[in-house]
Structure 1
């Protein structure tokens, strides 16, 4: 699982950089300032959680038996980024307002991922 999380973290990080560049250069003249802000929010949160997933992978590699909460945290970060950032990208590119209603579900998954990581930190022995 460590390798999967590390690989997905690297993919999320690289795609976040690409998305940020795309938003800053290709989208600037094509969408409204508000839609550009929404796209940028998706890219920023994707990068934050790529780094969080990288932390999860590093912790898993350091622990002899990783706790279930660490595994849960990693999957919640993956699900959260996919839903949260994905819905913001889709909203900003299509203008379909109903896509904005999906983003909070991804946000909940991201918050739950941080909660699971906090539980891990509070319960593991270093």
Structure 2
């Protein structure tokens, strides 16, 4: 469980750094990608931290992974990666949705 907490905290730190970097270094869609990725990553990192003591650790890992995939593709495009990565971003979103549904199911 400590690894999950450490990764969630690291994820939150990366999200804040990405948002700050986007606000001060970029303009236009690159800044929007960094803000959007940072927002989703931060929200989900905090959610994982809040739920880390629960018995449902597998869906939390899924939530953290989905938010990382979602944000990483946006960050990569902001820094010049090929735009086709934008087709991968919704996969991370779908994984986050699935993780939230899994958490809801686990709480039944």
TM-score under structure 1 length normalisation: 0.79
Name structure 2 gaps, 5 residues minimum: none
- Structure with greater Cα Rg: 1
Q: Which residue of 2 aligns with 1:120?
A: 106
Q: Once the 2 structures are TM-superposed, how far is the Cα of residue 50 of structure 1 from its aligned partner?
A: 0.3
Q: How does 1:11-22 map to 2 (within 5 A)?
A: 11-22=10-21
Q: How does 1:51-90 map to 2 (within 5 A)?
A: 51-59=46-54, 66=55, 70-90=56-76
Q: Using the alignment, how far apart are the partners of 2:69 and 2:24 within structure 1?
A: 24
1:40-60 deviation digits (Å, cap 9, x = unpaired): 10000000110111122132x
Correspondence for 1:37 among 32, 36, 51: 32
Q: Using the alignment, how far apart are the partners of 2:16 and 2:34 within structure 1?
A: 12
Q: How many residue pairs align between the two structures?
A: 108
How big is the alpha-carbon RMSD for the aligned residues of Structure 1 and Structure 2?
1.3
